[in-house]
């Protein structure tokens, strides 16, 4: 870690950057403004066949400024935290302002939620150490069948500060870590890939991680077996996450006349079976995106999106909440300092309080297709209520694996699929998806048509 990313040093730099912006903004005609300064350090360590191949360290800082002069609103961003960056961002936000309402939430809505500051950045050498441990654990667990080919450990520390014209400010610093692992399975030419969210680098458990990877990767060694007809489906958490990511736009505020949700509801007003409850959880310290507030300063909270199948709330930035007549619940995300806050889910997750252990789910059906991973992004046409899920999996009969189905496509009525979810597992894991971070467990779906 560089000296600039020491917590006190970073805090000082962020504070200085926002104060410089404040001085520029104070001399202009902005009635309301907001400054977001962020600095991040990421270190990516690639280990191939047990040897350190390369380490890439990237430090990036910048300032994003929103202004409103009473009739026009503007946003601009500039890289760096020095005075020239502050001046560039402020002057560009003013120059680019266009007629529009005040997009920023009023001061009375701003606030914070106490959050865990998170673990420290792991020491140098952590990545190589844990990948070595993981490689040994994988080999030991599988009797040498699984071999760790390549691992990329990503460690990062970031800090940001948000302040407004009304002297409201908040600062947050956190450490994040994840791993991308490629495993060779026996003499098969291909590789098994797995992304792992590491909530706490200091307590990384190589054996448990190896078991998690091996449980799936070893299943692909079975001979090929295909089938069709009505069958129970078991979705591995990664497949569940991809499916949930595909339906996540349903939980973002939209104009009523463009909202596809009503068309997907069943006769009892449910989107899914009772087993499924979804939240956008910004307060779970184990989730990937955690902070004291959302992207524009509303306190971080857990928003109930779907309660036992019934739609409850939609998330929205303050501006979208006002446009679409929603209650502002802190639904803004900032993808980087370069992006203005926008409506988005931070951590979409399934509540598993009433879930079953994954082992129990596997034994809950005499014959099921256990989908291990998707082969292409899950697509949902929310306007006509259809979906397409292409995955590979294994057939399980009476708790025994009958064979590997390398490519299977499931498609059809999305509402019918969601309403056939019979049970959720307790094996929740976090995944990075095209729709953001999703925390998903295994899902058991009954009597699903399998055609290919």
Q: Mask of contacts with other proteins, 405-434, x by CB under 8 A?
A: -xxxx-------------------------
Q: Which long-range contacts (CB under 8 A, 24 or more apart) does 121-126 make?
A: 121/1, 121/5, 121/41, 121/155, 121/156, 121/157, 121/175, 122/155, 122/175, 122/177, 122/201, 122/202, 126/153, 126/155, 126/201
Candidate list 23, 215, 363, 383; residue touching other proteins; CB under 8 A: 383
Show the tokens assigned to 17: 């950057």
Q: Per CB under 8 A, does 381 bind other proteins?
A: yes
* Smallest gap from residue 58 Cβ to other proteins (A): 5
Q: Per CB under 8 A, does 258 bind other proteins?
A: yes
Candidate list 58, 208, 335, 357; residue touching other proteins; CB under 8 A: 58
**Rounded alpha-carbon distances, angstroms, from residue 251 to 266, 316, 335:** 17, 9, 18
**Cross-strand bridge partners of residue 196:** 179
The answer to whether residues 134 and 112 touch, using CB atoms and an 8 Å cutoff, is: no
Please work out the total of residues on this chain that contact other proteins, with binding judged by CB under 8 A. Answer: 34
Candidate list 143, 190, 223, 262; residue touching other proteins; CB under 8 A: 190
Q: For residue 101, how far is the Cα from the chain centroid?
A: 31
332 by Cβ neighbours in 10 Å (0-12 / 13-18 / 19+) ranks as: buried
Q: Nearer to other proteins by C-beta: 208 or 407?
A: 407
Show the tokens assigned to 92: 């560009």
Contacting range for other proteins; rule: CB under 8 A; set: 52-60, 102-110, 356-364, 412-420: 52-60
Candidate list 72, 129, 150, 402; residue touching other proteins; CB under 8 A: 150
SS3 17: helix
Spatial CA neighbour of 10 closest among 39, 42, 49: 39
- Residue recorded with tokens 């059809």: 412
Q: Nearer to other proteins by C-beta: 46 or 232?
A: 46
Contacting range for other proteins; rule: CB under 8 A; set: 62-70, 133-141, 155-163, 178-186: 178-186
Q: Nearer to other proteins by C-beta: 60 or 308?
A: 60
Q: Per CB under 8 A, does 189 bind other proteins?
A: yes
Measured at the CA of 168, the angle between CA 340 and CA 301, to 5 degrees, comes to: 65
* Smallest gap from residue 386 Cβ to other proteins (A): 10
Q: Nearer to other proteins by C-beta: 182 or 413?
A: 182
Residue 361 makes CB contacts below 8 A (sequence gap 6+) with 234, 423, 425, 442, 444
CA distance 242 to 138: 26
Candidate list 64, 149, 201, 341; residue touching other proteins; CB under 8 A: 149
* Smallest gap from residue 193 Cβ to other proteins (A): 6
Kindly tell me the sign of the dihedral angle through the C-alpha atoms of 25, 26, 32, 36.
positive
SS3 208: helix
Contacting range for other proteins; rule: CB under 8 A; set: 54-62, 83-91, 229-237, 265-273: 54-62
**Rounded alpha-carbon distances, angstroms, from residue 173 to 42, 100, 114, 167, 253:** 13, 33, 12, 20, 29
* Smallest gap from residue 149 Cβ to other proteins (A): 7
Q: Per CB under 8 A, does 56 bind other proteins?
A: yes
* Smallest gap from residue 417 Cβ to other proteins (A): 17
SS3 445: strand
Candidate list 24, 33, 75, 192; residue touching other proteins; CB under 8 A: 192
Q: Per CB under 8 A, does 188 bind other proteins?
A: yes
The answer to whether residues 425 and 443 touch, using CB atoms and an 8 Å cutoff, is: yes
Q: Containing H/E element for 434?
A: none
Candidate list 113, 140, 388, 426; residue touching other proteins; CB under 8 A: 388
Cβ count near 57 (within 10 Å)? 13
Show the tokens assigned to 277: 């409850």
Q: Per CB under 8 A, does 376 bind other proteins?
A: yes
Candidate list 392, 397, 401, 426; residue touching other proteins; CB under 8 A: 392
Q: Per CB under 8 A, does 99 bind other proteins?
A: no
Contacting range for other proteins; rule: CB under 8 A; set: 28-36, 183-191, 199-207, 350-358: 183-191
Q: Per CB under 8 A, does 220 bind other proteins?
A: yes
Q: Per CB under 8 A, does 193 bind other proteins?
A: yes
Spatial CA neighbour of 63 closest among 340, 322, 375: 340
* Smallest gap from residue 197 Cβ to other proteins (A): 14
Candidate list 54, 124, 367, 447; residue touching other proteins; CB under 8 A: 54
Binding site for other proteins (CB under 8 A): 48, 54, 56, 58, 60, 149-150, 180, 182, 185, 188-193, 220, 228, 258, 375-377, 381, 383-384, 388, 390, 392, 406-409, 451-452
């Amino acid at each position: 870690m560089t000296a600039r990313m020491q917590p006190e040093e970073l805090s000082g730099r962020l504070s200085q950057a926002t104060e410089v912006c404040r001085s520029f903004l104070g001399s202009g005609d902005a009635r309301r403004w907001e400054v977001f300064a962020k600095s991040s350090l990421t270190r990516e360590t690639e280990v191939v066949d047990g040897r350190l191949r390369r380490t890439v360290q990237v430090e990036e800082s910048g300032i994003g400024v929103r202004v409103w002069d009473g009739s026009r609103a503007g946003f601009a961003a500039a890289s760096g935290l020095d005075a020239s960056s502050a001046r560039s961002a402020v002057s560009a936000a003013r120059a680019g302002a266009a007629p529009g309402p005040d997009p920023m939430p009023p001061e009375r809505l701003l606030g914070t939620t106490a959050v865990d500051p998170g673990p420290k950045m792991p020491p140098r050498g952590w990545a190589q150490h844990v990948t070595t441990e993981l490689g040994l654990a994988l080999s030991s667990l599988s009797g040498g069948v699984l071999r760790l080919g390549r691992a990329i450990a990503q460690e990062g520390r970031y800090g940001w500060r948000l302040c407004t014209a009304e002297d409201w400010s908040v600062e947050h610093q956190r450490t994040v870590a994840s791993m991308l692992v490629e495993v060779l399975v026996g003499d098969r030419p291909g590789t098994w890939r797995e992304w792992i969210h590491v909530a706490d680098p200091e307590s990384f458990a190589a054996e448990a991680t190896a078991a998690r990877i091996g449980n799936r990767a070893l299943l692909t060694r079975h001979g090929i077996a295909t089938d069709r007809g009505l069958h129970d489906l078991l979705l591995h958490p990664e497949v569940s996450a991809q499916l949930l990511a595909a339906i996540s736009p349903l939980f973002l505020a939209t104009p009523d006349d463009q909202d596809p949700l009503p068309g997907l509801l069943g006769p009892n007003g449910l989107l899914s079976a009772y087993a499924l409850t979804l939240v956008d959880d910004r307060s779970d310290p184990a989730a990937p995106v955690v902070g004291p507030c959302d992207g524009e300063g509303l306190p971080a909270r857990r928003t109930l999106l779907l309660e036992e199948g019934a739609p409850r709330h939609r998330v929205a930035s303050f501006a979208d909440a006002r446009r679409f007549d929603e209650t502002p619940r802190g639904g803004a995300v900032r993808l980087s300092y370069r992006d203005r806050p926008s409506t988005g889910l931070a951590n979409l997750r399934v509540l598993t309080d009433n879930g079953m252990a994954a082992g129990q789910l596997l034994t809950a059906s005499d014959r099921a297709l256990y989908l291990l991973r998707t082969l292409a992004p899950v697509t949902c046409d929310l306007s006509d209520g259809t979906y397409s899920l292409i995955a590979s999996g294994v057939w399980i009969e009476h708790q025994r694996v009958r064979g590997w189905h390398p490519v299977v496509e499931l498609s059809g009525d999305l509402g019918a699929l969601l309403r056939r979810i019979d049970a959720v597992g307790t094996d929740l894991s976090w995944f990075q998806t095209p729709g953001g971070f999703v925390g998903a467990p295994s899902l058991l779906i009954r009597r699903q048509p399998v055609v290919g």
